Chains A and B, each alone.
Chain A
């Protein structure tokens, strides 16, 4: 996690546009981040903030009405955005692989589980013999904790429970020892007891394979527990990015602050749960300047918030000891606003 080492994945100024009847709409706007070897990088944000689209863009999977309108994605120094479709196809599943939210629909109902896992090996390592593929699949199944893998190999998805299916999906994702695992809300569709098991497994196989992981989620608790660094997305832009401990304990962006304040707490019984006032912006009619400005208490009538897009940079020097990046014109003032934003809740730093 040293800052100096070259990142495995580097995303610079990624712009994704949705092409519709009217002018193209920017659904991801100038997103930049790095993922380093062995690190778990979290992307949090509400629905529609562009988290998943960002990842699809990284994998070169934008299609239909969305297109990459700018920016660069580099995997181990090789630019993915310049690659041909065929080169990209070889990267997917081999160097970068993805785990989806819903294991119920991510498996083909008419194919045996074993054959579906075997598929990813057959695609990327066509030289393998049938027996070798079979052995590897059974090894993978036992690795992800599927009991009696030889028998399970021959079963169909409907014979697997949700948790077991997600384990099978994880087996597929790690089959070729990828450099990066992208997990798009991997536990959202599972019930709570299984969530913890699956997450534990995911982290274990990640450590074993020494892969970096990108965890996309809106579960802040999950982020706090599992992630090394986190990026907060809102309205298609990054609001804040940095080490998870610092962002959770000392957010320098009013949106993050509001997000933290709106978590229910075990140690206090508030009269009501705080919520950020207003609605998430419509992407086709995005507020000028800072996307968060219409909902932001700190804006307070100030012109610059409406006219100028704040760039993601070091938090204000006023904030001592902060090392993470934030996109707010007035991040230096954040500590003065904690009371106002968190609805009277005192001392944000005590919340985590």
Chain B
């Protein structure tokens, strides 16, 4: 039972409970802090660089092509150097990061929504619906994801929207399976039966009772998936099936840079390092929250 004194302070502290929880988990170990540092660095790069005065990802200047990092040409320092067409790599890495992250987040949202919907419906209704949904999931799992992405991307043609939707539609299985498994146990819980006796329809129960219970876990799965999706996007762009020039993407930059690996390895290395930092940071953190298991955005900390 909660005491009256504890309750008075409760509403204000609840609001930031999720953030405080997260900070607490991160500061538990050095590896987590390192991962968080990687992530923050990349995010700062992506967010801040386009605000700097020298930001220009598109202008080509062959006179300064293949500049090394920190090379000063004509009174301008290229911190990351330039690519073959003399474009500023710092600007391009930052813009590519924005593109990659945006595509990744949108794809995660699409796949999360689709997967959670299908999984909850399958787990709640069972029977034929469940067989169909899980059959679809198995079917999709039986085809290697990269192969599927390449095939479909080649058919629908490359564009940012196509790529995002495609990545989203092919990533629902994880969410679907986890959501279904959780729905199977949630549907037997008494609060669901209780809602049914109060006249709640199936749709109502799924939306009001199952969804809030699975959402925190789904967000963790989502953060895990974000890293993977960014790598997939880079792979597709590397193959020329993703982002199209002149818009930069990390994968495409690596693909462009590989021809010059011996002359100027930085063209390929810098976006590669950026991918590594972002994905490692996201994955490590999501793993921390998964193993901690207590990170719960939807409800306040326990122990009142």
Complex contacts, B191 vs chain A, CB 8 Å = 105-108
A105-B189, A161-B1 in contact; A156/B199 too (CB < 8 A)? no
Complex contacts, A59 vs chain B, CB 8 Å = 197
Q: How near does chain B come to A266, taking the closest CB pair, in angstroms? A: 32
**Cβ contact within 8 Å between A109 and B199:** no
Residues of B254-304 whose CB lies within 8 A of A: 298-300, 302, 304
**Cβ contact within 8 Å between B212 and A123:** no
What is the bound-complex CA distance between A100 and B194, given in angstroms?
Answer: 7
**Cβ contact within 8 Å between A123 and B200:** yes
Contact of B7 among A109, A151, A161 (CB under 8 A): A151
**Cβ contact within 8 Å between B198 and A109:** no
A119-B200, A161-B1 in contact; A106/B212 too (CB < 8 A)? no
Q: How near does chain A come to B88, taking the closest CB pair, in angstroms? A: 48
**Cβ contact within 8 Å between A120 and B212:** no
**A102: interface (CB < 8 Å):** yes
**A92: interface (CB < 8 Å):** yes
**Cβ contact within 8 Å between A94 and B208:** no
**Cβ contact within 8 Å between B209 and A108:** yes
**Cβ contact within 8 Å between B299 and A110:** yes
What is the bound-complex CA distance between A156 and B300, given in angstroms?
Answer: 8
**B37: interface (CB < 8 Å):** no
**Cβ contact within 8 Å between A97 and B197:** yes
Complex contacts, B27 vs chain A, CB 8 Å = none
**B142: interface (CB < 8 Å):** no
**B2: interface (CB < 8 Å):** yes
Q: What mask results when residues 95 to 119 of chain A are scored 1 for a CB within 8 Å of chain B, else 0? A: 0011010100111111100000001
What is the bound-complex CA distance between A169 and B193, given in angstroms?
Answer: 13
**A349: interface (CB < 8 Å):** no
**Cβ contact within 8 Å between B299 and A123:** no
Complex contacts, B304 vs chain A, CB 8 Å = 158-159
Contact of A105 among B1, B190, B198, B212 (CB under 8 A): B190
**A254: interface (CB < 8 Å):** no
Number of A-B contacts (CB under 8 A): 83
Q: How near does chain A come to B116, taking the closest CB pair, in angstroms? A: 15
**A295: interface (CB < 8 Å):** no
Complex contacts, A159 vs chain B, CB 8 Å = 2, 7, 10, 304
**B141: interface (CB < 8 Å):** no
**Cβ contact within 8 Å between B199 and A106:** no
Residues of B181-203 whose CB lies within 8 A of A: 189-191, 193-201
Q: How near does chain B come to A102, taking the closest CB pair, in angstroms? A: 6
**A136: interface (CB < 8 Å):** no
Q: What mask results when residues 161 to 192 of chain A are scored 1 for a CB within 8 Å of chain B, else 0? A: 10010000100100000000000000000000
A108-B213, A110-B299 in contact; A102/B199 too (CB < 8 A)? no
**Cβ contact within 8 Å between B212 and A93:** no
Q: What mask results when residues 209 to 228 of chain B are scored 1 for a CB within 8 Å of chain A, else 0? A: 10011000000000000000
**B204: interface (CB < 8 Å):** yes
**B11: interface (CB < 8 Å):** yes
Q: What mask results when residues 44 to 69 of chain A are scored 1 for a CB within 8 Å of chain B, else 0? A: 00000000000000010100000000
**A90: interface (CB < 8 Å):** yes
**Cβ contact within 8 Å between A92 and B7:** no
**A262: interface (CB < 8 Å):** no
Contact of A124 among B195, B196, B199 (CB under 8 A): B199
**Cβ contact within 8 Å between A110 and B198:** no
Q: How near does chain B come to A91, taking the closest CB pair, in angstroms? A: 7
What is the bound-complex CA distance between A180 and B189, given in angstroms?
Answer: 24
Contact of A89 among B11, B194, B199 (CB under 8 A): B199
Q: Which residues of A contact B (CB under 8 A)?
A: 59, 61, 89-94, 97-98, 100, 102, 105-111, 119-120, 123-124, 151, 154-156, 158-161, 164, 169, 172
Give the 9 A-B residue pairs with the shortest CB-CB distance, closest first.
Answer: A93-B198, A93-B199, A161-B1, A92-B199, A105-B190, A159-B2, A98-B197, A108-B191, A106-B194
Known: A98-B198, A151-B7, A156-B300. 6 other contacts (CB 8 A): A89-B199, A93-B199, A120-B199, A123-B199, A160-B2, A172-B198
